[in-house]
Amino acid sequence: MPSAPQYVRVGPTADDGEEVSLLEILDNVLNSGVVIQGSIVLSLAGVDLVYLGLNVVLTSVETALRSIETNENARLKRFPRK
């Protein structure tokens, strides 16, 4: 038996009482894309021992291809091929 959908309150919708499902949030994130960047440095006595860097791009393939196409069209308008 399937479980009931999970809901979270986000942004402006939290004030007006509307509930947003996790699926709707995921759909919005994949349609617009998200970039997550972070870093951690482990040091001992002022000496950096370990550096961990994180760069994550989360988007759908369709959104990424659309973005590439838009950028390519803009570049071709600025520098047309002869």
8-60 pLDDT per residue, tens: 555 554 455 678 888 888 888 888 888 888 888 899 998 989 999 988 888 88
- The pLDDT of residue 1 is 47
Distance separating alpha carbons of residues 73 and 82, to the nearest angstrom: 15
**pLDDT for residue 3:** 56
List beta partners, residue 56: 36
